[in-house]
Every structure is written in C-alpha cells, then in structure tokens.
Structure 1
Amino acid sequence: MPSPAAPAHPAHLSPALTLLLATATGLAVASIYYVQPLLGLLSAQFGVGSASIGLLPTLTQLGYAAAILLLSPLGDRFDRRRIILWKAAALVAALAFAAWAPGFGALCVASVAIGLMATLAQDLVPAAATLAPEAERGKRVGQVMTGLLLGILLSRVAAGSLAAVAGWRAVYGSAAVAVAALMPLLWWRLPRFVPATQAGYGELLASMGRLWLQHAPLRRAAMAQGLLSVAFSAFWSTLALVLAGPDFGQGSAVAGAFGLAGAAGALAAPLAGGMADRRGPQAVIRVAALLVFLSFAVQAVAPASLWLLVAVAVVFDLGVQAALVSHQSVVYSLDPASRSRLNAVLVSGMFVGMASGAALGSSLLAAFGWRAVPVLGAVAALGAVVVSRHGRRA
C-alpha cells in the first residue's frame, strides 16, 4: 500500500499536512464515540435493555484500550506510514460492517473492531511530533491534538443529528466514507518513517511493564486519569438513555448536541498546560479532579434539569481534559526516550477507565435509575482526588 517513492522525513511539516493529520486524527477518534447518542435508537432497534446496550460503548472502549497497549509500540519498530494506511483501511471496513450489521451480536463485533482500529489517532499524533521542526513542534502537535479533541466532542453532535434524520446506519456509513476519502491524501502526503528501534515485539511490550514498575508517577497518573475516565464515560455512555427517559423526554439530536456543551469546557483545557508550567502539574490535577467531583455531586442531589446537565458537561469535561494535559506533562518528563510507550500506558489506563465507566454506568442506570450515574461519577472522581493528593506527598 505505501508508495516506495514516498520520501522519508521531509524538512518541515507544512500547514496543509498539519491540517490533514488533524482531520484524520479527529475522524479516527470520533469513531469510538458515534455510538453514544445512538444508544436509545439501537436499544429500540434490537430490542435490548439499557444494561445490554451498554455493551456497545464498553466493547469499543476495551478494543481501543487493548490496541493502545498491544499495537501502539509497533510505531517504534515499523514504518509508521505503513501502519497508518493499513489501520485506516481496516477502520473503513469496521465502520462499513457496523453500518450493515444485521443484529446486535454483529454490531458488538463491529464495535470491538472499531475500537481496535480507531487507535489510528494514536499513530497520527506521534507522526506530527516526528515531522514537525523543533521550533514549531509544540504548535503543530497542539493543532493535531485540537483535531483529536474536536473529533471526540463533535462526533456526538454529528451522530445524533444525522441519526435523527437518516437513521443510525447512516452514521456508520458516512463515517466509513469520510475516512476512506482521506486515505488517498494520506498515501500521497505522508513520508516514510525510519523505525526508531529494532527491538522485537515481546521486548517492546516488556519494556512497558518495566516502565510501569519503575515510575511511581506513571502509575499514579494512569490510575487517577483512569478514575476520571470512569466518571467521563459513565455520563456520556448513558446520556442518550437518560435524556430519552421520562425525566427529560429528549431524542438523539439533543443527546448529540450535548457534545457542544462538552466542547465548551474541553477547548479551554489546553490553558491548563500554561498553568501547569507556572504552578506545577500536580496542582492543576488536584483542582481538575475536584471540579469533576463537585460537578457530579451537584448533579446527584439537585432536581432534574436539562440546563444542569449542560453545566455538568461543561465543568467535568474541562476538569477531565485539564487533568489529562497535566498528566501527560508529568509522564513525558519521566523518560524522553520512551515517550510513546509511556503514553501507551497512560492512555491504556484512561480507556480501561472509560470501558469500566460505560459498563458500570449502564448497569447502574438499569438497576437504580439515572441518579446512580452521577453518584458513580462523584465516587470515581473522589478516588482521583485521593490519588493526586498522594502524589503531592510522595
């Protein structure tokens, strides 16, 4: 698939290539979030309850977490361009299969495959870091990360709105077409990447285990971000079902529009990087985790209100994203030669938390009603506060 004539490592990362990488990153990561505003429609389509339908986001998140841990290290061993192109092709196939899925079981299989291949996003961001000139590296990588962030948040808006007009299958079909349309551009514009190591696959995996054992800050970062991700995913994975329930009576379009509320909070989160430089990342992490706790605690006890849900989405998305930026600052400073594997460990912890949040949130919603979901979010965020305070004493 890669062209043998493709150059290796161009002198600079052009604005056009930066935009291409940001767009591809956003579309790739969006694939794992399309399902969230569709859960009410899918539950009715396949005749399954809220606990069972929660398998879809859970399996997607678990697939993503597994691929981050098991596939991301390959970017150090093989030409990253080849990996990007093959993953993009496999993601198109997984999305197309989801659009066609004749039953709930098939859609579960498609969800796992989408999660596995959506880790294309985690290959594109390091590609930008490698290609960017030293003087513009932070700026260019930040632009690509903006694409990733917008993909996470606006995917819900797009999926909810399109499903309300054309049905849920159109969401997956359109997503497959969008990724397929970018593949020729990626094939044409991406250079070849020289592998950074000749270490075997087993050695790469073993090195991540050693990094986990060696660095206590890495363990704390993965655990704290994982706990915040439980709260994050429990909210977003059950929102469509909560909104469709008797307390709110809203459809998929409203559920998708909540992505705009999340974007309002999360787009402010990059400011946390500057604050982390001035006050230290641990201070930002503690404040961010406390914001997440307070937002869910208020939701758990306050009267049912659509506007309160919007406010909660803004505040806790800000807290979760600010904590992630600060945790990355902590982790990347541990061992510059192992940053991709350190990132794989951190992101794996985060997505294990997301998968757990999706599963627990759906089960609690089915058993105890929607109030149980913010209680779960508050408890998980409080755990993150405790972990971050331990980091301050260490």
Structure 2
Amino acid sequence: MKESLKRAPAPAAAPRLHRGILLLMSVATGLSVAGNYFAQPLLEVIGRELGLGTTMAALIVTAAQGGYAVGLILLVPLGDLVERRRLAVLLFAVTAVFLLVSALAPSGPVLLAGTALTAITSVAAQVVVPYAATLAAPGERGRVVGTVMAGLLLGGLLARTASGTLSALGGWRTIYWLNAVLVSVVAVLLWRFLPRLHTRVGLSYPALLRSTLAMFRHEPLLRWRAGIGALSFATFSVLWTAVTFLLSGPPYGWSEAAIGMFGLVGVVGAVTTPIAGRLADRGRVQQVSGVGTAVLALSWPVIGAGALSPGWLAVGVVLFNVSHQAVLNANQNVIYALRPESRNRLNSAFMTSCFLGGAAGSLLTSVAWTTAGWTGVTLLGGGLCTAAFVLWALERVHAKRL
C-alpha cells in the first residue's frame, strides 16, 4: 500500500487551457449530470404513469445519487491511469445509451435501472473537472474549477426546468430522448477538441482503487472536507427532493412544468460559483468555507417559511444554493492542492463521499416528509447544515493544534 501512495512525479506540462475548451468542458459537465435530475420535478407524473407510490418514486432520486457514487469510486480514478480524453469520451457515449434505456422504460424497475446506469457513467463530469484543474495555470485554478463546476451545477438545476417544461409539451420521456442526442454530440466534440492528457502512475487498476481508499487514511484534510461535503450534499438532496412534494401538493398544487421552472431560482448559486473560485485563488478558501457553511444553516429557517409563501421559499433557495456552491468550490480547491499527481483519485474519494451523503439525504427526506411533512424536512435540512458548520469549525481547531 505504501508503494501505491508514494507521490509520483508531477505531470509534464499540460496543454494550455483556451477559453473555447473551457466553455466546452463546462457545457459537457452540465449535460453529463443533467440526466440524474430529470426525474425530480416529474416524480408525481412518473408515479402515475408507471404505478409507483411516493416511496418508490423517491427511490428514483436515490438510484441516481447512489449510482453516481458507484461511478465515482470505480470509474473516476481511471483518470490517473488511462488517457483522459479517451476515458471522458467513452463515458459520454455510454451515458447516451443508458439515457435511451430510461426513455424507453416500460416500468418502474427498468426506469430505476436506467437511472442508476446513467448515473454511474455520468461521472464523466468528474473526470473533466480535475482535467480542467490540471490544464489551468496555478494562479487561475480556483476560477477554472469554479467555471467548470458552474456548468455542472447549471446542468443539474436547468435539468429540472427543462424536464418539467418538456414533460408538459411531449411527456416525461421527451427530455431523456433529447439529452441522449446532446450527450452524443458532446462526445464527438470532446474527441475533436479536447487535448490529450495522460498522467502515468504505474499502478494496476486494483492498486489504483486501493490507493483511492487509502487517501482517507493518509490525508486528514480530505477526511474533514469529505465529511463537510457529504453533509452539504445530503441537505441539497433533502431540499430538491422535498420541494417537488411541497409544490405539487396543497396549498400550491403546481404542475410539473411550474415545478421545473422553480429550479431557475437555484441558477443564482451556480452563476456565483466562479466568484468563490477567485476568492480561493486569493487565499481566502477558509473564509469561504466558514461563511458558506454558516449561511447554509441560516437558509433553512427561511426555506421553512416557504410552506405557505413562494417568496420566502425562493429567497431561502437562493441563499442555500449560493452557499452550497461556495462550500463545494472551497472543498475542491483544498483537496486538489494536496496531491497534484493524484487529482482524479482525490476527486473520486471526495465526490463519492458527497454523493453517498446525497443518497442518504434523499432516503431521509421520504421518512421526514411522511412523518412530519415540510416541518420535518426543514428540521432535517437545518440539522445537517448545522453539522457541516460544526465540522468546519472542528477542522480549524484541529489545524491550529498541529
């Protein structure tokens, strides 16, 4: 194990990251992850057509989160082993195929399988993010990561709006057909324009996976940041899963198209992500982390007031998304600085923790909603965010003792 964790030489000088390539990578990440979020505003209509109950419908969200976690731990580390452009293109192509499985799903189990398989290969986005970090100049890494992550996050948020709108026009399957086509086009563009990049680590695939898991033992900062990330992603999943149930029932009674349009409120958070990246480039990553986790917790009382007021709900969601994206960007900048030659494995370990937290959050949401409605959801989300802030504070205390 010690051999697999030995620091390899820094990779050779990477090709320069041009603005056009950065834009392509941002769009690619957004389209890649979008399929994991299409079902969220459609749970009611999918449930009606396929005969699914509330708990079974919520499992579609869980399948996406859990499948993404599997892909993160099994596929993303390959970016430190094989040529990255080839890996990214292959994953995008397979994702398009699995999107077609969901589009054709005749039953709940098939849709669950299609959702899980799509999520596993959609981790192509998490191959592209450290790829961009490696191509970026050191003084611009925070901004570049923030820009690519903004694309990824916009993809997740706009996916809800697009799926709701297209469902009203052509049925819930329409968005899966469309995304399959777009992801296929992106695969071709990445093959044509993305520069080749291969970091040789001299490990077999089993040793690579062992090395990824061993990162947790040998990198204390990774453990702290993975915990913060898991809690913040859990509460992210709590919010966006429960919002569908809130807005589709009384007193709102919104259509799936209207619920999807509400996702546009969260765009503000994604747009501000590069700002957090620039602050990280200026050495303020800890301030971003602390303020971000604090605002996450403070946003939930506002979100809770949204039970009867869409205005309060919108304000709370904006506060939540801005702080959530800031915390995510800060976490990534911390871990990418640990081992430049192992960024894919670090990203795999970190993001796996995040999406396992997200999967747990969606499961807890169904329990909270069934047991105590929106009040239960608000208490759950606020408690998870408060725990994230406490974890950040404990990290700072631990760092000062070293």
TM-score (norm 1): 0.91
Q: Quick one: which of 336, 340, 344 aligns to 1:336?
A: 340
Contact 2:145 2:329 in 1 (8 A): no
Q: For 1:359 and 1:317, how far apart are their aligned partners in 2?
A: 21
State the shift of 1:24 in Å: 1.4
State the shift of 1:325 in Å: 1.3
Amino acid at match of 1:41: V
State the shift of 1:179 in Å: 0.9
Pick which of 9-18 and 38-47 moved more: 9-18
Q: For 1:286 and 1:135, how far apart are their aligned partners in 2?
A: 22
- Residues 172/79 of structure 1: CA separation in 2 closer, same or farther (3 Å cut): same
Alignment match, 1:88? 92
Amino acid at match of 1:175: N
State the shift of 1:274 in Å: 4.0
- Residues 188/278 of structure 1: CA separation in 2 closer, same or farther (3 Å cut): closer
**Could you say what secondary structure the match of 1:33 adopts?**
coil
Alignment match, 2:190? 186
How many equivalent pairs are there? 387
Q: Quick one: which of 379, 382, 395 aligns to 1:378?
A: 382
Q: For 2:393 and 2:143, how far apart are their aligned partners in 1?
A: 31
Alignment of 1:98-247 (within 5 A): 98-132=102-136, 140-247=144-251
Percentage of pairs with the same residue: 37
Q: Quick one: which of 318, 322, 325 aligns to 1:321?
A: 325
The alignment status of 1:352 with 2:338, answered yes or no, reads no
The alignment status of 1:264 with 2:268, answered yes or no, reads yes
The alignment status of 1:298 with 2:307, answered yes or no, reads no
Alignment match, 1:249? 253
**Could you say what secondary structure the match of 1:371 adopts?**
helix
Contact 2:143 2:277 in 1 (8 A): no
Pick which of 256-265 and 291-300 moved more: 291-300
Amino acid at match of 2:351: V
Q: For 2:82 and 2:166, how far apart are their aligned partners in 1?
A: 38
Q: For 2:349 and 2:64, how far apart are their aligned partners in 1?
A: 18
- Residues 254/184 of structure 1: CA separation in 2 closer, same or farther (3 Å cut): same
- Residues 18/290 of structure 1: CA separation in 2 closer, same or farther (3 Å cut): closer
Q: Quick one: which of 308, 314, 333 aligns to 1:310?
A: 314
Contact 1:11 1:133 in 2 (8 A): no
TM-score (norm 2): 0.90
Q: For 2:133 and 2:390, how far apart are their aligned partners in 1?
A: 33
Q: For 2:383 and 2:215, how far apart are their aligned partners in 1?
A: 29
**Could you say what secondary structure the match of 2:273 adopts?**
coil
Alignment match, 1:19? 23
State the shift of 1:377 in Å: 0.3
Contact 2:161 2:257 in 1 (8 A): yes
Q: For 2:55 and 2:261, how far apart are their aligned partners in 1?
A: 23
Q: C-alpha offsets along residues 118-165 of structure 1, whole Å, 9 cap, x if unaligned?
A: 101112223334445668666555443332222122111111111121
Q: Quick one: which of 275, 289, 298 aligns to 1:285?
A: 289
Q: For 2:186 and 2:330, how far apart are their aligned partners in 1?
A: 31
**Could you say what secondary structure the match of 1:270 adopts?**
helix
Pick which of 212-221 and 291-300 moved more: 291-300
- Residues 379/43 of structure 1: CA separation in 2 closer, same or farther (3 Å cut): same
Q: For 1:105 and 1:9, how far apart are their aligned partners in 2?
A: 47
Q: For 2:386 and 2:143, how far apart are their aligned partners in 1?
A: 34
Q: C-alpha offsets along residues 222-257 of structure 1, whole Å, 9 cap, x if unaligned?
A: 111111111111111222221110121111122111
Q: C-alpha offsets along residues 76-102 of structure 1, whole Å, 9 cap, x if unaligned?
A: 111222212221121011100100000
Amino acid at match of 1:29: V
**Could you say what secondary structure the match of 2:374 adopts?**
coil
Amino acid at match of 2:69: A
RMSD of equivalent CA atoms? 2.2
Amino acid at match of 2:390: V
- Residues 80/329 of structure 1: CA separation in 2 closer, same or farther (3 Å cut): closer
Pick which of 190-199 and 216-225 moved more: 190-199
Pick which of 246-255 and 329-338 moved more: 329-338
**Could you say what secondary structure the match of 2:251 adopts?**
coil
The alignment status of 1:64 with 2:58, answered yes or no, reads no
The alignment status of 1:45 with 2:38, answered yes or no, reads no
Q: For 1:274 and 1:19, how far apart are their aligned partners in 2?
A: 17
5+ unaligned residues in a row in structure 2: which ranges?
Answer: 1-11
Alignment match, 1:5? none
Q: For 2:230 and 2:126, how far apart are their aligned partners in 1?
A: 17
Q: Quick one: which of 362, 367, 373 aligns to 1:363?
A: 367
Contact 2:78 2:344 in 1 (8 A): no
State the shift of 1:393 in Å: 0.8
Pick which of 88-97 and 277-286 moved more: 277-286
